[in-house]
């Protein structure tokens, strides 16, 4: 079935879009960067991280909306950059940083981390909220994978990819609100699951929470993915 | 005001940090000669911090881990026209703040009673009047005082430091995103 | 009425250390203490972290010689992975370490201490820093800056980054030296060696003019420890431990690093966050020892490179068969080590292994490992125990400055005793001397901020009731 072609306006520019697709996808095709973290093109969207919020004009909507979950309408007018939007993204980003122990200097994902790269791109120079410094578990029971909940941002990418792409359903979110955690088999250990390092769930973790063992610090400083080049979008699996 | 010819005064201090940010300042290498012509350094001003002079620019390295750090930082805030949280410990807590997931007591006992090479039959843990009291949780600089600028990095790259200082001395306050991308880093 | 004199040599503004001098009822020095007021809790908070994080994590304790922690941790990780580190990786790490020794020693001598020697112990403190040096002797100051710069560049070329590099990883290193970097270093290293010789000569001439000062200033008995190879030759990156007593008699020799606990323990005092290491056989405090350049020169029989070797022989002539006790000799030994490091960098650059791509080896993971290195300031010990998944259960660290704790305390006390006497006015001169005494040890806790500034001091003379009866301030 052929998708209906419509036109929307993004940042004053007319953009061709397909009915039913998200604002994010239409903007991306038009070469407009909208920061994302929980979104990944291989997965369903949940609008959890609020990085991709945009302003939609003329629809009576007052609030910012997540562009990864909002479908386009013909004639929609969207703003992706403004002081208000910048402020909201920055606020959300700082909340993410303050909730867990995202200390970059000695994290093995540093330089290849999407969370860090988005913070660079947004110029996050500090965090206004008090850091919570939770004490979270590190699960190194799997021979090839390490899971460090201290560095998790609860984006749910691992949960969705294990379910939707890897078809294993290894991960789940337990708990509520600020006490939520990614878990396997309800407080089980990764080593007891059928997850492998080649699973998409492991490959596309946007932080240092899920890492393949043995790769830590294996790239020279200055030659890592985001050392010299700003982030353009989610990382692809190998 | 118009006739004031003296050079801007720069002071720096080092709270709970590793000195790496200060070392990175030295990594401006030969440019230190040029810098010494542009500013007067009042680094680590005086023993009694109550006598810290009014300064134009203050660079604060390190997190706030004990009562001394707290007092010094507040004094710097009072005396500095433009206060910069300098590096990741000051801004994010970094390594010094890792003890926040534990109690102070747990940390002290591990270091002074439990480590393998330690022989401490009387169970002494330093608490004398000559050592400052540790804060229950390590704080970042922006959590304690208002900062005028935050320059992250572990340490901030020497080029980023040079860029920021020369901009400030030229009367401009750059947005973080104006710092060259390769030099605005968290590690 | 007994008094307490309080000095904050490492200014209050940094709040990392201070000195108190306790006088007896007659006004004579009873005791002197350097208080270390910093505490991190490192041994606790690394528990539960994966051990392979340690090379990047642990170096965040010290930004002045991060490479030392970086490499000591990497060596501990090698032990935990039963690694046979490939030759190329070993040589790249050695070069990184030599870059570190060069930059740290150059920083200490030129940026901090050269002013003491060139401008005098009693010169204007406002000028006794690198800026003062730039004003007084711009040519020398620029040499100093470039010497340190070269050391930092060597670290960057081998570790990816000047401060807190990431090059050394469990089992090896992550990248070879590039063609470009090797070419650059080769083009410059001879000039660096020459400047290294110039530095040693400055110190040697100063010694010749001040022989008595060197022999008497902060001179006291302790043991000494450092690393040597089987022939007793000084080793900076890897070797076996040798400890000698105050008379130069061997306490232990050829001690494999992993057995350090057989010979070393640490005591705790209530007035300092820094512990007090000692030789087990001799007990505490009798078995207190010093580490670092002077200690290494006292324990070693030879040094491998030609130019440094000449000066090492001069040192051994001065020593005349006994350990050298004077703290000022640390400067001489430090500069000869700096020269040694430049020569080792040159040797390394001629070895094609530094461009090898066989850089990592890992074997079977085990549960306990020790990694020791001779950091610029002295022997640095890392010791980890990990669970079967590789998460840290215990971590023990003994850093170089801690092992000089007793040395620094003795220096302060010796100086205090010779400058504070009953019935005599306590003058500001003592401030400079105590500062010079502590600086001999290049303690990490103090040098950073002073690199571009002054080290002002104040002395508070406090009576038993806590009243300040006299205050000396230098600002």
**pLDDT tens for residues A175-186?**
998 889 999 988
Give the pLDDT score at C109.
81
pLDDT at C19: 72
B183 touches C: beta carbon within 8 Å: no
What Cα–Cα distance (Å) separates residue B68 from each residue in B15, B132, C453? 9, 6, 20
Q: Are residues A95 and A192 in the same domain?
A: yes
Comparing CB atoms, the residue among C394, C448, C457 nearest residue B19 is: C448
pLDDT recorded at residue C434: 79
Exposure b/e, A135-145, CB count within 10 A at least 16 = b: ebebbbbbebb
> Measuring CA to CA, which residue among B61, B65, B54 is closest to residue B132?
B65
Both tokens of C415, joined, read 């100086």
Cβ pair B176, A86 in contact under 8 A: no
Q: How far apart are CA B126 and CA B138, in angstroms?
A: 19
DSSP conformation letters of A137-203: -EE--SSSEEEEGGG-----HHHHHHHHTSS---EEEES-GGG-EEEETTT--GGGS---TTSHHHH
∠ CA B162-B168-B170 to the nearest 5 degrees?
100
Q: What ranges do the domains of chain C cover?
A: 39-406
Instruction: Decide if pLDDT at C199 tops 60.
Output: yes
Are A11 and A105 within one domain? no
Helix/strand/coil for C411: helix
- Is A230's pLDDT higher than 80? yes
Cα distance between residue C271 and residue C273, in whole Å? 7
Is residue B91 domain-resident?
yes
Burial call C285-323: b when 16+ CB within 10 Å, e when fewer: eebbbbbbbbbbbbbbeebbbebbeebbeebbebeeeeb
Query: Residue C147 above 90 pLDDT?
Result: yes
Whether the CB-CB separation of C311 and C61 falls below 8 Å is answered with: no
In a domain, A77, yes or no: yes
Q: Does the pLDDT value for residue C360 go beyond 50? A: yes
Q: Provide the pLDDT confidence category of residue A202 given band limits of 50, 70 and 90.
A: very high
C63: nearest CB among B23, B43, B118: B23
Q: What is the percent of chain C where pLDDT is above 70?
A: 85
Give residue for tokens 């006794």.
C128
Residues of A in contact with B98 (CB under 8 A): 101, 103
User: Is the Cβ–Cβ distance between C221 and C286 less than 8 Å?
Assistant: no
Identify the domain containing residue A97 by its residue range: 87-228
Query: Do A196 and A95 lie in a common domain?
Result: yes
Q: Quick count: other Cβ atoms within 10 Å of Cβ B39?
A: 17
A102 & A211 share domain: yes
List of residues 6+ apart from A184 with CB closer than 8 A = A147, A170, A171, A172, A190, A192, A193, A195
For residues A75-90, average pLDDT:
95
For residue C454, the model assigns a pLDDT of 36
Distance of residue B119 Cα from the nearest chain C Cα, in angstroms: 5
Q: What superfamily does domain C39-406 belong to in CATH? A: Cytochrome-c3 Hydrogenase, chain B (1.10.645.10)
**Pairwise CB contact (< 8 Å): C56 & A146:** no
Q: Is residue A134 part of a domain?
A: yes
User: Would B104 be classed as within a structural domain?
Assistant: no
Torsion of CA C27, C33, C38, C39, to 10 degrees: -130
Phi-psi region for residue A184, left (φ > 0), alpha (ψ -120 to 50) or beta? beta
Q: How high is the pLDDT of residue B1?
A: 38
Q: Are residue A17 and residue A76 in the same domain, yes or no?
A: yes
C443: nearest Cα among C120, C142, C212, C104: C104
Query: Residue A80 phi/psi, 5° resolution?
Result: -105, -15
Domain-located, residue B49: yes
Whether residues A75 and A16 fall in one domain: yes
Please give the structure tokens belonging to residue B9: 């005064």
Contact C265 B118 (CB under 8 A): yes
Quick one: A116 and A95 in the same domain?
A: yes
Do A137 and A200 share a domain, yes or no?
Answer: yes
What is the ipTM, given to two decimal places?
0.93
Contacts of residue B62, Cβ cutoff 8 Å, sequence gap at least 6: B13, B14, B15, B16, B17, B18, B21, B69, B87, B89, B90, B96
For residue C359, pLDDT beyond 90? yes
* pLDDT band, very low/low/confident/very high, at C21 (cuts 50, 70, 90): confident
C471 or C264, higher pLDDT: C264
Task: Please give the Cα distance from C302 to C312 (Å, whole number).
Answer: 7
Selected residues 416-445 of chain C with any CB under 8 Å from a CB in chain B: 444
Q: Which residues of chain A lie closer than 8 angstroms to C170, CB-CB?
A: 216
Examine residue B111 and state whether it is found in any structural domain, yes or no.
no
Residue A63's CATH number: 3.10.20.740
CB C18 within 8 A of CB C6: yes
Measured between beta carbons, the chain C residues lying within 8 angstroms of B156 are none
Chain B nearest-CA distance from A237, in A, is 24
Same domain, A109 and A43: no
Domain tally, chain B: 1
Q: How far apart are CA A94 and CA B108, in angstroms?
A: 31
| CATH assignment of the domain containing B20 | 3.40.50.700
Which range among A28-37, C358-367, C434-443 shows the weakest confidence by mean pLDDT? C434-443
| Same-domain check for residues A15 and A131 | no
Q: Which residue has the higher pLDDT, C153 or C451?
A: C153
| Predicted pLDDT at C11 | 39
Provide the domain limits for residue B69.
9-98+135-169
**C385 class by beta-carbon count within 10 Å (0-12 exposed, 13-18 middle, 19+ buried):** middle
- What pLDDT is recorded for position C6? 62
At C474, is the pLDDT very low, low, confident or very high (cuts 50, 70, 90)? very low
Question: What CATH number has the domain bearing residue A180?
Answer: 3.30.70.20
Q: How many beta carbons lie within 10 A of that of residue B185, not counting itself?
A: 25
Tally of domains in chain A: 2
pLDDT of C126 strictly over 70: no
On whether residue B184 sits in a domain, the answer given is: no
Burial of residue A236, with CB atoms counted within 10 A of its CB: 0-12 exposed, 13-18 middle, 19 or more buried: exposed
How high does pLDDT run on average in chain A?
A: 94
- pLDDT at residue A187 above 70? yes
Secondary structure, 3-state, chain B = CCCCCCCCEEEEEECECCCHHHHHHHCCCCHHHHHHHHCEECCCCCCCHHHCCCEEEEEEECEEEEHHHHHHHHHHHHHEEEEEEECHHHHHCCHHHHHHHCCHHHHHHHHHHHCCCECCCCCCCCCCCCCCCEEEEEECHHHHCCCCEEECCCCCCHHHHHHHHHHHHCCCCCCHHHCCHHHCCCC
Task: Specify the pLDDT at position C294.
Answer: 97
Pull the structure tokens for residue C109. Answer: 């001598």
Query: What's the confidence (pLDDT) of residue B45?
Result: 39
Average pLDDT over residues C368-386: 96
Model-level pTM greater than 0.95?
A: no
Shared domain for A93 and A67, answered yes or no, is: no
Determine the distance in angstroms separating the CA of A218 from the nearest CA of chain C, rounded to an integer: 5
User: Does B153 reside within a domain?
Assistant: yes
pLDDT recorded at residue C221: 95
* Cβ contact B128–C270 (<8 Å): yes
Distances (CA, A) of C97 to A218, C248, C419: 19, 28, 39
Return per-residue pLDDT of chain B as tens, 187 residues. Answer: 344 468 899 998 888 888 899 899 989 989 988 888 898 877 553 333 346 789 999 999 999 998 888 998 999 999 999 999 999 999 999 999 999 988 888 888 887 787 788 888 888 877 666 667 889 999 999 999 999 999 999 999 999 999 999 999 999 999 999 999 999 999 9
Phi, psi of B122 (to 5 degrees): -90, 5
Q: Which residue has the higher pLDDT, C281 or C411?
A: C281
Q: Please say whether the beta carbons of A104 and B88 come within 8 A.
A: yes
**A235 part of a folded domain:** no
Same domain, A49 and A97: no
């Amino acid at each position: 079935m052929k998708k209906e072609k419509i036109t929307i306006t993004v940042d004053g520019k007319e953009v061709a879009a397909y009915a039913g697709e998200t604002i994010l996808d239409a903007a991306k095709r038009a070469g407009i960067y909208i920061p994302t973290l929980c979104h990944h093109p291989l997965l369903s969207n949940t609008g959890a991280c609020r990085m991709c919020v945009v302003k939609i004009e003329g629809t009576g909507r007052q609030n910012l909306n997540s562009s990864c979950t909002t479908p386009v309408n013909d004639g929609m007018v969207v703003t992706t950059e403004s002081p208000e939007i910048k402020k909201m993204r920055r606020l959300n980003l700082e909340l993410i940083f303050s909730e867990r122990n995202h200390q970059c200097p000695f994290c093995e994902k540093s330089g290849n981390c999407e969370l860090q790269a988005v913070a660079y791109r947004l110029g996050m120079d500090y965090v206004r909220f008090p850091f919570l410094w939770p004490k979270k578990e590190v699960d190194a029971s799997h021979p090839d994978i390490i899971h460090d909940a201290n560095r998790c941002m609860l984006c749910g990418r691992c949960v969705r990819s294990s379910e939707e792409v890897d078809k294993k359903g290894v991960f789940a979110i337990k708990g509520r609100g600020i006490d939520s955690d990614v878990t396997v088999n309800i407080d089980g250990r990764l080593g007891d699951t059928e997850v492998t390092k080649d699973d998409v769930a492991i490959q596309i973790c946007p932080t240092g929470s899920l890492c393949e063992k043995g790769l830590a610090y294996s790239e020279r400083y200055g030659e890592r993915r985001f050392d010299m080049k700003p982030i353009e979008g989610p990382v692809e699996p190998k | 005001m118009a006739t004031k010819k003296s050079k801007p005064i720069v002071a720096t201090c080092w709270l709970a940090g590793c000195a790496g940010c200060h070392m990175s300042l030295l990594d401006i290498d030969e440019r230190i000669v040029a810098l010494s012509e542009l500013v007067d350094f009042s680094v680590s001003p005086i023993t009694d911090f109550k006598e810290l002079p009014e300064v134009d620019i203050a660079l604060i390295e390190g997190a706030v881990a004990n009562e001394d750090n707290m007092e010094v930082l507040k004094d710097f805030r009072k005396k500095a026209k433009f206060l910069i949280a300098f590096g990741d410990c000051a801004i994010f807590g970094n390594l010094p703040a890792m003890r926040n997931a534990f109690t102070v007591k747990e940390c002290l006992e591990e270091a002074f009673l439990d480590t393998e090479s330690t022989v401490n039959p009387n169970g002494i843990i330093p608490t004398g009047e000559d050592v400052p009291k540790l804060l229950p949780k390590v704080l970042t600089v922006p959590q304690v005082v208002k900062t005028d600028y935050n320059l992250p990095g572990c340490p901030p790259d020497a080029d980023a430091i040079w860029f920021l200082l020369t901009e400030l001395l030229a009367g401009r306050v750059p947005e973080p995103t104006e710092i060259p991308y390769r030099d605005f880093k968290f590690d | 009425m007994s008094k307490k004199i309080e000095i904050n040599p490492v200014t209050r503004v940094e709040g990392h250390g201070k000195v108190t001098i306790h006088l007896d009822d007659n006004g004579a020095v009873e005791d002197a203490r350097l208080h270390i007021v910093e505490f991190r809790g490192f041994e606790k908070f690394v528990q539960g972290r994966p051990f392979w994080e340690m090379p990047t994590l642990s170096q965040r304790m010290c930004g002045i010689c991060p490479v030392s922690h970086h490499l000591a941790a990497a060596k501990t990780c090698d032990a935990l992975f039963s690694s046979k580190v490939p030759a190329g990786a070993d040589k790249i790490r050695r070069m990184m370490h030599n870059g570190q020794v060069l930059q740290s020693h150059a920083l200490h001598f030129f940026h901090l201490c050269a002013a003491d020697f060139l401008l005098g112990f009693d010169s204007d403190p406002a000028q006794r820093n690198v800026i003062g040096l730039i004003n007084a002797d711009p040519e020398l100051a620029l040499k100093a800056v470039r010497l340190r710069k070269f050391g930092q560049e060597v670290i960057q070329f081998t570790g990816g980054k000047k401060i807190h590099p990431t090059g050394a990883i469990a089992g090896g290193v992550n990248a070879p030296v590039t063609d470009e970097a090797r070419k650059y270093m080769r083009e410059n290293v001879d000039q660096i060696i020459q400047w290294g010789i110039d530095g040693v000569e400055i110190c040697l001439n100063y010694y010749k003019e001040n022989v008595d000062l060197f022999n008497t200033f902060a001179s006291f008995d302790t043991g000494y420890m450092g690393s040597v190879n089987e022939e007793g030759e000084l080793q900076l990156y890897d070797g076996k431990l040798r400890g000698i007593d105050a008379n130069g008699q061997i306490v232990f020799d050829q001690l494999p690093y992993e057995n350090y606990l057989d010979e070393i323990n640490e005591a705790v005092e209530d007035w300092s966050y820094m512990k007090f290491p000692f030789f087990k056989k001799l007990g505490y405090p009798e078995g207190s020892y010093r580490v670092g350049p002077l200690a290494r020169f006292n324990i070693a029989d030879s040094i491998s490179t030609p130019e440094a070797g000449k000066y090492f022989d001069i040192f051994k002539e001065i020593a005349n068969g006994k350990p050298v006790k004077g703290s000022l000799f640390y400067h001489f030994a430090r500069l000869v080590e700096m020269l040694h490091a430049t020569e080792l960098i040159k040797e390394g650059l001629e070895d094609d292994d530094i461009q090898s791509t066989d850089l990592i080896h890992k074997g079977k993971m085990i549960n306990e490992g020790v990694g020791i290195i001779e950091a610029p300031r002295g022997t640095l010990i890392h010791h980890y125990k990990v669970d079967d998944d590789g998460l840290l259960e215990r971590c023990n660290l003994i850093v170089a400055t801690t092992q000089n704790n007793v040395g620094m305390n003795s220096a302060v006390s010796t100086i205090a005793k010779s400058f504070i006497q009953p019935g005599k006015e306590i003058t500001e001169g003592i401030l400079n001397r105590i500062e010079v005494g502590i600086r001999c040890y290049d303690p990490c806790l103090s040098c950073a901020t002073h690199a571009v500034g002054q080290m002002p001091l104040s002395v508070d003379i406090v009576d038993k009731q806590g009243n300040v009866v006299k205050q000396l301030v230098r600002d």
